Amino acid sequence: MSTLRSRLNEERWHGLGRARIIGLLVWLGFIVVPVADAITNNGPAAEHYLAIAGASLFSAAYVWLVIIWFDERAAWRPLALTALLLALAIALTLADRSSWGFLFSYVAACIGLVIPSRHGLQAVIGCAALVVICTLIDRAGGGAAAGYAASTIGVGLLLVLLRDLQLRNRELTDARAELARSAVAAERERFARDLHDLLGHSLSVIAIKAELAGRLLPDRQGEAAAEVADVEQVARQALREVRQAVSGYRRPTLDGELEGARIALSAAGIDADFERSPVSLDPEIEAVLAWTVREGATNVIRHSGARHCRVKVRAGLADAAVEVLDDGAGPAGTDGLVDAGAVLNGRAGNGIAGLAERAERLRGRIEAGRLPEGAGFRLAVSVPTAVAGS
């Protein structure tokens, strides 16, 4: 995840670097106009040099603002520079000549860059109103004042839209990064859940058979050797399943899990009855029911201390279900039947929580808990058949 985040941030800042270079080349190309205009305009020496100084300060402040605007750490400085540019534009227009009204277009551009989009339109209109007032006070014609106002509004609105576009692109980039992080987290949880369900069952069988082989030695070496061979077979099967899970291709089958549960319960010395309706199921539904058989058998072997277990698979037109009943105590923390549709609110272990998540994706229902009066433990999962493939 950290690698993915670093790559997205690198792409983002690399894109900003290109935008910064292009922006500087475009906007700094225009800023020579005020200084050139001040130098080429003839007038009294004092006023001439003051106009050059004012235009130079205006250009310097503009350049500084464009440079630091890309730096998010600049905070208040772009706003301060925009205020300085507005003050210089007003001073030059009122004190020197009305033709300095074109500076308000630069100010409007900076307003579009630094003022939040929700206030940008009002700020640009206010800047246009100022240029009209200043040029009319300096005895400019109404046509000239309207022209300055129109260019101010046009440039300002363009920059407001560009800034809004940049912010939305940034939000999209952040959203893409968040979606990528969520996808990685979900995949990690799925993989951990599958490994828990796969290895929990297989390792329980291996431990039971190894213990049985140890008890058979040295007096009944033939039977012990058979148990050791079964341990090897189960270990190899578990290795294949883990490899398939890593590859993302494995989907358990109901027949395979029922047979695996039969072998595991028999090895644990638990009498087991199996019932199954001879009906074919959608692969997604069958996978949920198969995981239920595996988890139910694993819990009976590891937690219940049961002597008898009953596994019932039912399939009808409306739904398909698996029920695992035993006469033991069941896992800790599951007193009383509990609706596990909300992942049991953290009250169950990882296996039952994983089943709840799988069932919930198919709008199914899961119940798990001890039966009243010490009658045993029940795990049941039902899934509507109508949601398959929808």
Lowest mean pLDDT among 16-25, 143-152, 171-180: 16-25
DSSP codes joined into one string, 170-202: HHHHHHHHHHHHHHHHHHHHHHHHHHHHHHHHH
Highest-confidence segment of 49-58, 73-82, 191-200, 340-349:
49-58
Give me the residue label for tokens 């800023």: 31
- Is residue 13 very low, low, confident or very high in pLDDT (cuts 50, 70, 90)? very low
- Is residue 66 very low, low, confident or very high in pLDDT (cuts 50, 70, 90)? confident
- Is residue 374 very low, low, confident or very high in pLDDT (cuts 50, 70, 90)? low
For residues 257 and 304, the model is more confident at: 257
* Residue 286 tokens, joined: 């069958």
Burial of 61 (0-12, 13-18, 19+ CB in 10 A): buried
pLDDT of residue 323: 93
Q: What residue ranges do the domains of the chain occupy?
A: 2-180, 271-390
Report the DSSP pairing between strands 271-276 and 308-315.
Answer: parallel
For residues 54 and 243, the model is more confident at: 54
pLDDT, average across residues 75-86: 84
Does position 333 have pLDDT exceeding 60, yes or no? no
Residue type at position 164: D
d(C-alpha 316, C-alpha 306), whole Å: 30
Does position 335 have pLDDT exceeding 70, yes or no? no
Q: Which helix (H) or strand (E) holds 294?
A: helix 283-299
- Is residue 327 very low, low, confident or very high in pLDDT (cuts 50, 70, 90)? confident
What does pLDDT average to over the chain? 77
Does position 355 have pLDDT exceeding 70, yes or no? yes
Phi, psi (degrees; rounded to nearest 5) at 368: -150, 140
d(C-alpha 184, C-alpha 194), whole Å: 15
Tens digit of each residue's pLDDT (9 = 90 or more) over 22-32: 555 565 566 66
For residues 32 and 292, the model is more confident at: 292
Tell me which CATH code domain 271-390 carries.
Answer: 3.30.565.10
Tens digit of each residue's pLDDT (9 = 90 or more) over 153-193: 988 888 888 888 878 888 888 887 787 777 767 767 766 77
- Is residue 278 very low, low, confident or very high in pLDDT (cuts 50, 70, 90)? confident
Distances (CA, A) of 62 to 31, 83, 270: 8, 11, 84
Tens digit of each residue's pLDDT (9 = 90 or more) over 115-128: 877 788 888 898 98
Q: Which helix (H) or strand (E) holds 24?
A: helix 2-30
